[in-house]
Amino acid sequence: MAFADGTADFRSDTVTRPTEAMRKAMADAIVGDDVYGEDPTVNLLEEESAAVVGTEAAVFVPSGTMGNQLAIWGHTIPGSEVVCVETAHVRNHERAAAAAIAGVQFRGVESPDGSITPDQVKDTAAPEHHHPRPSLLAWENTHNTSGGTVTPLDVMVETSDAARAIGLRIHLDGARLFNAVAATGITADRWADPVDTVQFCFSKGLGAPVGSILCGPADFIDEARYRRKMLGGGMRQVGVIASAARIALAERDRLTEDHENARRLADGLADRYPGSVDPAAVQTNMVIADCSPIPGGVAAAIDALAAAGVVAAEFPVGHIRFVTHRDVDAADVERVLAGLPRP
């Protein structure tokens, strides 16, 4: 179902607009001052989120970036390194916040799909005297840049064990954790089990307008709450948005629809433009299409889609990344296929 103006926006799952139920919940939300810990709706959301991922506590934050940065800041010491894949959001897309706030740098390891091997982690702790010491392993699951791929749980467990053995803490950027849950049937608490903290977003495929949450041990979350205030993240009567996030969390099973639509789109593109998409690489709600088999390439594809009322963007160069979400449906997938230039 496209937006009210008829456009279907495939650029990201961040573009969703609140549902009628969310708007009503926001209007009716029971609120208090969350800086005093007195917003009942936020307190419920934090309890429900911690229960879903099986941690002691959780703290509501305005964005995934703030959740990740509070985790990095809390887990590391200045001058140390965070180990992650070289394409990780925390490394490339958070405005160097970890350098500015926590005083750390990243050790990006090569990975086509977000997975990291035990040896890659062990290699970061080189015992020579020029090398900074690693302090944190940061996962991203599902992995955004490679097209929503899932790092298998056994890989996370094995590599996290290796990281712990050399003294690292472990954080999961689970902005799209529930896409991994929907794709595998493995529950969120099992994904969170190998890590110390997990951040997930209500404002991606789950469809809430705003908000993310950082979950972990009670003492870590207490400290994160203190630091959230330092960053200006004390949000007062924020039950107004937590109410929409509660609905998003309760309706998380709907992500399978997004995965079906991504599959439909991947199959349609692969059939029409052989070589444009590897359907096996499409595991969740993203399809990265190489536009070279499309007549006119990426620019012509984006123009033709715009004429059909479809918003799409180039990512990476020469490709379009289509992201499915709550506000696009199977008819919009057909619109993409019908709108693209014919071979």
Ligand X SMILES: Cc1ncc(COP(=O)(O)O)c(C=O)c1O
For binding to ligand X (CB under 6 A), which residues are involved? 14, 63-65, 68, 89, 140, 144, 173, 175, 201, 203, 212
DSSP state of 324: -
Residue with smallest beta-carbon separation from ligand X: 64
- DSSP, collapsed to helix, strand or coil, labels residue 333 as helix
Q: Which is nearer to ligand X, 194 or 233 (CB)?
A: 233
Q: Which is nearer to ligand X, 62 or 268 (CB)?
A: 62
Q: Which is nearer to ligand X, 140 or 290 (CB)?
A: 140
Q: Which is nearer to ligand X, 76 or 146 (CB)?
A: 146
CB of 143 to ligand X, least distance (A): 7
CB of 36 to ligand X, least distance (A): 25
Q: Which is nearer to ligand X, 64 or 239 (CB)?
A: 64
CB of 144 to ligand X, least distance (A): 4
Structure tokens at 238: 């924020």
Which element (helix H / strand E) includes 245?
Answer: helix 239-250
Structure tokens at 42: 């936020």
Structure tokens at 40: 């009942």
Secondary-structure percent of the chain, ordered helix, strand, coil, rounded to 5: 45, 15, 40
Nearest CA-CA partner of 322 in 259, 275, 272, 251 = 259
Question: Angle at CA 123, nearest 5°, toward 118 and 125?
Answer: 110
CB of 188 to ligand X, least distance (A): 16
**Amino acid symbol at 278:** D
DSSP state of 325: -
CB of 100 to ligand X, least distance (A): 15
